Amino acid sequence: MTPVCRIGAGAGFAGDRVDPAVALAASGQIDAIALECLAERTLIAALRARDTQPDGGADPRLRRRLSPLIPVAADRGCRIISNLGAANPAAAARQAASLAGELGRSGLRVAALLGDDVAHLTDRTEWEQPIDGRLLGAHAYLGADGMAAALAEGADIVLAGRVADSALFAAPALAAGEPDRARRAGALTVGHLLECTGQLTGGNFEPPGGGGLDAAALAGLGFPFAHVMADGSAELAVLEDAPGRVDPMTCTLQLLYEVHDPGRYITPDGVLDFTDISFEPIGRNRVRMTGAHLVGRPDRLKVIAFVEQRGIIADVEIGYAGTFALHRAQLAADTLRLRLRDWAEADLTIDMVGVNSILGAASAAMNAAPPELRVHVSARCEDAAAAQIVEDEVYALTLSGPAGGAGIRSERRPRIATISGLIPRDLVPWSLVWETAR
**Binding-site ranges for other proteins (CB under 8 A):** 40-41, 128, 199, 204-210, 248-249, 252-263, 274-279, 291, 313, 315, 317, 347-349, 351, 353, 357-362, 364, 376, 378-380, 413, 415-418, 420
Shortest Cβ distance from residue 270 to other proteins (Å)?
A: 18
Q: Which is nearer to other proteins, 356 or 398 (CB)?
A: 356
Pairing of strands 234-238, 265-267: unpaired
Shortest Cβ distance from residue 143 to other proteins (Å)?
A: 18
Shortest Cβ distance from residue 262 to other proteins (Å)?
A: 5
Shortest Cβ distance from residue 122 to other proteins (Å)?
A: 17
Q: Which is nearer to other proteins, 246 or 255 (CB)?
A: 255
What's the length of the chain?
438
Of the candidates 73, 60, 128, the residue with the CA atom closest to the CA atom of residue 105 = 73
- Distance between the two ends of the chain, CA-based, in angstroms? 39
Shortest Cβ distance from residue 279 to other proteins (Å)?
A: 7
Shortest Cβ distance from residue 133 to other proteins (Å)?
A: 12
Report how far residue 377's alpha carbon sits from residue 192's, in angstroms, rounded to the nearest whole number.
Answer: 37
Q: Which is nearer to other proteins, 106 or 204 (CB)?
A: 204
Q: Which is nearer to other proteins, 64 or 413 (CB)?
A: 413
Report how far residue 90's alpha carbon sits from residue 78's, in angstroms, rounded to the nearest whole number.
Answer: 22
Residue 385 buriedness (CB in 10 A; 0-12 / 13-18 / 19+): exposed
Q: Which is nearer to other proteins, 417 or 433 (CB)?
A: 417
Of the candidates 7, 28, 138, the residue with the CA atom closest to the CA atom of residue 82 = 7
DSSP conformation letters of 51-82: HH-TT--S-TTHHHHHHHHHHHHHHHT-EEEE
Q: How far is CA 272 from the centre of its chain?
A: 21
Q: Which is nearer to other proteins, 23 or 390 (CB)?
A: 390
